[in-house]
A and B are shown apart, each in its own frame.
Chain A
Amino acid sequence: MPAARPQPAAPPAPGAPTREAVAALYRAHARELWRALGRLGVQPAAVEDALHELFIVVQRRLPEFEHRAAIRTWLYAIAVRIARKSRDRTRRDSFEPEPAEWPSHERGPDQALLDAEALRMLDSLLAELDEDKREVFVLHEVEELSAPQIAAILEVNVNTVYSRLREAKRAFARAHARRRLLGRDVR
């Protein structure tokens, strides 16, 4: 199911009742935020709670939102911070992710399985990036946000975004090459 782009017509009108506004935001953005939380390092089993937490914050803070910034930027800014908190919690609880395997193309035609494997592989490669690079990489490459949007979300300079993105791409390519070379034998 293609879910890459949100429905564009969702920004709630200023002054609209919060409940309806949150519903509109949920309809328009919950899918992409779900995806972003996963790629930003929230463990699969925790994404549901993280999304809930995110929209709790939206419910609480939406009345302050004056529509001078892009609502999508704001939502991603919340998602990034919730993902950070989740990663911290994971580290504290000493969660050890299952070792990912290189996706095998010999396992039959089940595309869903291949997609799931590829996604797991992507997540394991993302996990090799430093956190600041991972955030920029995911927001730009997966979520297709622009550098100014990412700069606003992360509260950094735009040139910092560009430089982190360059480094992230290099590190990602290196991790990819390394993983391909390593296979599963050298453990």
Chain B
Amino acid sequence: MSQEQEDIQRLIRQARRVAPDEQALARVWQRLQAPPPAGPDDGGAEVPDPEALANATQALAGKAATAASVKALAAVVVVGAALVGGRWLTRPEPSAPAAVVARPEAPREPAVIEAPRPETPPAVEVTPPSEPPSKQAERRSGASGSSGGTERRGVPESGGFAGSSGVAESGADPASAEEGPGAERRLLEAAQAALQRGAPAAALASLDEHARRFAHGLLADEREVLRVLVLCAEQRPDEAEAVAQALLRGGPGLFLPRLRGSCVGERLVPVQRPKGKGE
């Protein structure tokens, strides 16, 4: 496991260990002792109907059971064919790989709380994803600015994280691979420094070079944020706005706080007014 993957796993392990504030839990329980507020809805949360959820769970289990039956049948057929073929050839295979049925991911706990049924675990058997990587890449909609390049490349096995190696491979152009990700960072630092010393043209040149060499690099989003700031410094607000809008379209709005401080901040976000007294 690479250092990067270890770091990710460590983060996740820590997240699993998170303990809530016990006093806060007690406070919530105290509040729950009061009669629930009247109202027909669930506060706008569109909570799933328990009945519908049960039906969905059972439907999934039913589909999975069908898939399991088909798989088992296919396995029997294949094993039978292998055995018969072996007899014909009077040279039995050392092993019968066809007999190995892809083992589905076992549910971590039964999906249905009911009287235990012997067929429950296989009932939630799920066909592992077998979609070709190209199809998955196609299916990705609206390639986000934060991950534009990666998604168009090959998809790693679903078992683990892509890791830094996969990311680095997919993030950088082949021509720049020799220089490593440090080169990406240096270019952006140069652009940042040029912007700070009041040389937006030089900054733009660095950004363009980054765009040429690391079109889908790890720092592609950072480059575009800087580009907005540089275009603002060059008094080109319309172009800056176009770049900013493209950034915001591509992701969950992480760059908004930084863009809000730019010359196009007010064009991007309507001014937030305090709530009126009547609301």
Contacts and interface: CB of A to CB of B under 8 A. Distances in A.
Interface size class of B (residues with CB under 8 A): 35 or more
Question: Is chain A's binding surface mostly helix, strand, loop or mixed?
Answer: helix
Interface string A131-172: 100000000011011111101110100110011011101111
B16 interface: yes
B151 interface: yes
Contacts of A68: 51, 54-55, 57-58, 112, 114
A28 interface: no
B272 interface: yes
Residue with the greatest number of chain A CB neighbours at <10 A, chosen from B56, B140, B257: B56
Given A53-B45, A118-B10, A166-B158, A149 B111 contact: yes
Contacts of A153: 53
Interface residues of A, number: 91
B167 A34 contact: no
Interface in B88-106: 105-106
A48 B57 contact: no
A162 B29 CA distance: 36
A38 B18 CA distance: 10
Contacts of B5: 173
A122 interface: yes
A107 interface: no
B254 A141 contact: no
A88 B65 CA distance: 38
B24 interface: yes
A64 B189 contact: no
B127 to A, nearest CB: 7
B42 A147 contact: no
A48 B107 contact: no
Interface string B239-279: 00000000000011110011000000000010010000000
B37 interface: yes
Interface stretch (B74-82, B128-136, B197-205): B128-136
B185 A186 contact: yes
A185 B179 CA distance: 20
25 contacts: A1-B17, A3-B18, A3-B20, A11-B113, A26-B32, A30-B20, A35-B15, A60-B36, A81-B48, A85-B45, A128-B251, A147-B105, A148-B111, A152-B60, A155-B56, A158-B127, A159-B126, A162-B126, A162-B129, A165-B158, A170-B151, A177-B4, A177-B181, A181-B219, A182-B218
